[in-house]
Amino acid sequence: MILVHLSGHLKDFTGRKRTVEVPGSSAGSVITLVQYLNKQFPGIQDRIFDEQDHTRTYVNIFVNGEDIRSGARENTTLKEGDKVHILPSVAGG
């Protein structure tokens, strides 16, 4: 299982669930993970990725505490037991 932690408006897609378990076999990379989530929670992919399947600038994704932007980005490989945090940026004043 891969544990996906969601925050902000993304919980609106999951019935307010903050954590979703995804079978490891369904998520070979971050992009396939988000595609899997979109099948379970239609519309969530559009909030995470843009039209070219790149992470939106205001969304941060961490795999086991590491920002995916410092590595393979959306192609970051996932494995059984990984923890993924998807965090929309918060702004305000």
In the block, residue with structure tokens 């996906």: 4
For 12, the domain range is 2-88
| pLDDT for the residue numbered 91 | 67
pLDDT in tens, 35-54: 999 999 999 999 999 999 99
CA distances to 5, 33, 47, 58, 68 from 8, in Å: 11, 18, 11, 12, 19
How much is the pTM?
0.92
Which parts of the chain register pLDDT below 50?
Answer: none
* Burial profile 31-70: b = 16 or more Cβ within 10 angstroms, e = fewer: bbbbebbbeebeebbebbbeeeeebeeebbbbbeeeebee
CATH number for the domain harbouring residue 44: 3.10.20.30
Q: How many domains does the chain have?
A: 1
34 in a structural domain: yes
93 in a structural domain: no
